[in-house]
Amino acid sequence: MTLSTPFSSKVSYSFSWVGMVGLAIIVFWAVIALAAPHIIPYPIGEIVDEDYFGPMSSKLLLGSDYLGRDMLSRLMMGARYTVGISLAAVCIACFTGTALGMAAAVIGGWFDTILSRFLDALNSIPSKLSGLVVAAAIGSSINVLIVMLAVIYTPGAYRFARALAVNVNTMDYITVARTRGESILYIIFSEILPNIIGPLLADFGIRFVFITLLLSGLSFLGLGVQPPYADWGALVHENISGLPFGAPAVIVPSLAIASLTISVNLLIDNLPKKIRDRSA
Residues that bind other proteins (CB under 8 A): 117-118, 120-122, 124-130, 132-138, 209, 213, 216-217, 220-223, 233, 236, 240, 243-246, 250-251, 254, 257-258, 261-262, 265
Can you list the alpha helix ranges (DSSP code H) found in the chain?
A: 6-13, 17-39, 71-107, 109-123, 127-138, 142-169, 172-179, 184-186, 193-220, 232-238, 248-269, 273-276
Question: Which of 42/131 has CB closer to other proteins?
Answer: 131
Backbone φ and ψ of 70, nearest 5°: -70, 120
Three-state secondary structure call for residue 48: coil
Torsion sign, CA atoms 103, 106, 108, 113: positive
**What sign results for the dihedral spanned by CA atoms 248, 249, 251, 253?**
positive
Q: Supply the minimum distance, in Å, between the C-beta of residue 31 and other proteins.
A: 21
Nearer to other proteins, 169 or 242 (CB): 242
User: Of 11 and 121, which has the nearer Cβ to other proteins?
Assistant: 121
Judge whether 105 and 165 are in contact, CB under 8 Å.
yes
Q: State the minimum distance, in angstroms, from the CB of residue 106 to other proteins.
A: 25
Cα torsion angle, 206, 212, 215, 220, sign: negative
- Closer by beta carbon to other proteins, 185 or else 262: 262
CA distance 253 to 224: 15
In whole angstroms, how close is the CB of 191 to other proteins at the nearest point? Answer: 32
Smaller CB distance to other proteins: residue 122 or 142? 122
Smallest separation, CB 54 to other proteins (Å): 17
- Compute how many other C-beta atoms are within 10 angstroms of the C-beta atom of residue 200: 21
Q: Nearer Cβ to other proteins, position 128 or 278?
A: 128
Nearest distance from residue 251's CB to other proteins, in Å? 7
Cα Rg of the chain (Å, integer): 22
The least distance separating other proteins from the CB of residue 260, rounded to whole angstroms, comes to 9
